[in-house]
């Protein structure tokens, strides 16, 4: 069973702080990693994708990947109340060669207080 | 100009009934998916189609039957609905390839009474 683990939270941070969201995965052969944001009652939307070890930055968001430790994280700098949502880590395991299939974690709820 | 659309948005029905959910994407993607998100918000893949062909069936009961009339549409028919089928069902689409982003529809909230 391929698994993706996340702390369910909630993770509470004050406005302007850095929020750090973490994710571990069990399939060592996984090749693609994604962070989705889901507001309550809405559908998941992509925040970041990362495929190789290291950091990837996009605006206030930084994704970090360490394949040796099977660990992927998302940092949100200058957190805003509008960032309050559930963040889903998704991993593309090597199950169906060539096809995108995502295994999702259960998500971490982030609460940013004004 | 909605990218991935689903109908209906809400579905309330009795146990034992049969219902269908429709999904359409206008992104020109080759691959479409059905996901189920349960009450604990766990999102799990059910099916994946690539160019109208089934490529993933994640041990879903055979009461669930997907159909893809063309690569822009993927419908989900559910027979003999059970209480445990109550969930939010999301359709998604992507280009073919393991690095491709999946784009989700707005979801269909199914409640079985």
B41 secondary structure, DSSP code: -
Q: What pLDDT is recorded for position A76?
A: 97
Mean pLDDT on A73-82? 97
3-state secondary structure of A28: coil
Mean pLDDT on A74-82? 97
Pairing of strands B4-7, B19-25: antiparallel
Q: Specify the range with the lowest mean pLDDT, choosing from A66-75, A92-101, B41-50.
A: A92-101
At residue A27 the predicted structure's pLDDT band, cuts being 50, 70 and 90, is confident
Percent above pLDDT 70 for chain B = 97
Of A45, A98, A104, the CB nearest to B98: A98
Q: What pLDDT is recorded for position B96?
A: 77
Tokens describing residue B22: 């429709």
Q: What pLDDT is recorded for position A45?
A: 95
Sign of the alpha-carbon torsion through A79, A84, A89, A90: negative
Give the span between the Cα atoms of B47 and B33, in whole angstroms.
6
Chain A positions touching chain B (beta carbons under 8 Å): 31-32, 34, 38, 42-46, 49, 51, 86, 88, 92, 96, 98-104, 106-107
pLDDT tens per residue, range B43-102: 999 998 888 888 877 778 899 999 999 989 999 999 999 999 999 999 999 987 767 889
Give the span between the Cα atoms of A38 and A40, in whole angstroms.
6
Other CB atoms within a 10 A radius of the CB of residue A41 amount to 9
pLDDT exceeds cutoff 90 at A43 = yes
Check: CB of residue B91 under 8 Å from CB of residue B32.
Answer: yes
Give the span between the Cα atoms of A44 and A48, in whole angstroms.
12
Q: What pLDDT is recorded for position A1?
A: 61
pLDDT exceeds cutoff 90 at A110 = yes
Q: What pLDDT is recorded for position A101?
A: 78
CA distance B92 to chain A (A): 10
Give the span between the Cα atoms of A93 and B74, in whole angstroms.
23
Q: CA of A106: which chain B residue's CA is closest?
A: B42
Q: What pLDDT is recorded for position A61?
A: 97
At residue A98 the predicted structure's pLDDT band, cuts being 50, 70 and 90, is low
pLDDT exceeds cutoff 70 at B14 = yes
At residue A102 the predicted structure's pLDDT band, cuts being 50, 70 and 90, is confident
Is residue A8 reached through a cis peptide bond, with omega within 30 degrees of 0 on the bond before it? Answer: no
Percent above pLDDT 90 for chain A = 79
Give the span between the Cα atoms of B88 and B76, in whole angstroms.
13
Check: CB of residue A34 under 8 Å from CB of residue A51.
Answer: no
Mean of per-residue pLDDT scores for chain A: 92
Give the span between the Cα atoms of B101 and B27, in whole angstroms.
12
pLDDT exceeds cutoff 80 at B108 = yes
The CA distances from residue A103 to A61, A79, A80, A108, B1, in Å, are 22, 27, 28, 15, 29
Check: CB of residue B58 under 8 Å from CB of residue B45.
Answer: yes
pLDDT exceeds cutoff 90 at A4 = yes
3-state secondary structure of A82: helix
Mean pLDDT on A80-87? 97
């Amino acid at each position: 069973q391929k698994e993706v683990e996340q702390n369910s939270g909630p993770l509470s941070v004050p406005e302007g702080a850095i929020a750090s969201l973490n994710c571990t995965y069990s399939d060592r052969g996984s090749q693609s990693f994604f962070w989705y944001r889901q507001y309550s009652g809405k559908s998941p939307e992509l925040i970041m994708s990362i495929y190789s070890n290291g950091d990837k930055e996009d605006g206030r968001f930084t994704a970090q990947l360490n394949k040796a430790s099977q660990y992927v994280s998302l940092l949100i700098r200058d957190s805003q109340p509008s960032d309050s949502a559930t963040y889903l880590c998704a991993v593309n395991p090597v199950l169906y060669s060539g096809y995108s299939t995502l295994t999702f974690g259960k998500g971490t709820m982030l609460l940013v207080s004004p | 100009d909605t990218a991935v659309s689903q109908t209906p948005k809400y579905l309330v029905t009795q146990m034992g009934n049969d219902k269908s959910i429709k999904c359409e994407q206008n992104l020109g993607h080759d691959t479409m998916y059905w996901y189920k998100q349960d009450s604990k918000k766990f999102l799990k893949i059910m099916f994946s189609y690539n160019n109208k062909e089934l490529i993933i069936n994640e041990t879903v009961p055979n009461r669930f039957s997907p159909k893809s009339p063309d690569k822009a549409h993927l419908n989900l028919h559910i027979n003999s609905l059970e209480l445990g089928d109550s969930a939010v069902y999301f359709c998604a689409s992507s280009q073919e390839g393991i690095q491709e982003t999946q784009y989700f529809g707005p979801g269909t909230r199914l409640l079985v009474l």
